[in-house]
Structure 1
């Protein structure tokens, strides 16, 4: 990738992510192009469409986090129950506290498939509770962190409830 193309790519991802976080899913491609100082055609050539841009922004903002979280979730020197609780705590920090507006945009676009951490959580649940439908339970836990579950100022209450749900699923 040329230097100017790489710069444009990074600027577009940063600007689009910030606009989605501050203004929600209704941000137009025109507004993103203007804020990034690129032509609208550049957006479409680089990302294909709005959904492609959303996927790229979500990927860019979660990739480094996921690398570390996956390493901790697969560390077999720690009991599976503890790893599952830690993963859910880390997901909460990412989904609810750091990236909620961006995640809300992603939820509304239906352009991004299930996150990789969903499968990892299911693996951990299955390890702790092999008789359970681990995939379903992982979806319930992750679903409890969707943007519509958060009331203004209620993040800490939601955190406590998500943690209690996870503990209940894993058994005490």
Structure 2
């Protein structure tokens, strides 16, 4: 990637992320372009559409989280059951509490189901460690899916967390 293209990418993603957090994901592409100091055409050439830009912001804002969550998930000094519960709790904090508006937009996208595949894969691997005979991919998708935006009601995040963790505990068994 050219230096100016890389700078534009970084500036656009940062500006879009800030505006999405302040105003929600419906902020206009014109406003994002103005905040980033680029033309609107640059946004569309670089990201394709709003969904592509939202995905780029989510990827950028979740990368450091992913590195830490993955490190803990593969730490074999901790029992797999405990690692799985911790991973689900970490995902909950990220998608329900920190990135809710962006995740809701990704869920509605025609190009993606809103859940980064590596999150599902990581949880499926943990479930398979605990319950080798289970359909770990299905169970991981069910647990992560229970955190989709339509399940979240304002002011009920703690109740949802309790239920998601209860589901996870049930799936993992004793």
TM-score with structure 1 length normalisation?
0.90
1:48 corresponding residue in structure 2:
48
2-structure distance, mates of 1:149, 1:159: 11
SS class of match (2:111): coil
2-structure distance, mates of 1:96, 1:49: 24
Q: CA deviation at 1:50?
A: 2.6
2:51/2:105 contact within 8 Å kept: no
1:61 corresponding residue in structure 2:
61
1-structure distance, mates of 2:27, 2:108: 13
CA-atom RMSD in angstroms: 1.7
Paired residues, number: 171
2-structure distance, mates of 1:50, 1:60: 15
TM-score with structure 2 length normalisation?
0.89
Which segments of 5 or more consecutive residues in structure 1 lack a partner in the other structure?
none
2:73/2:83 contact within 8 Å kept: yes
1-structure distance, mates of 2:107, 2:31: 21
1:91 corresponding residue in structure 2:
91
Which segments of 5 or more consecutive residues in structure 2 lack a partner in the other structure?
none
Q: Aligned runs of 1:122-161 on 2, under 5 Å? A: 122-161=124-163
Q: Which has the higher contact order (CA 8 A, sep 6+)?
A: 1
SS class of match (1:132): coil
Q: CA deviation at 1:12?
A: 1.2
2-structure distance, mates of 1:21, 1:38: 20
1:141/1:166 contact within 8 Å kept: yes
1:55/1:112 contact within 8 Å kept: no
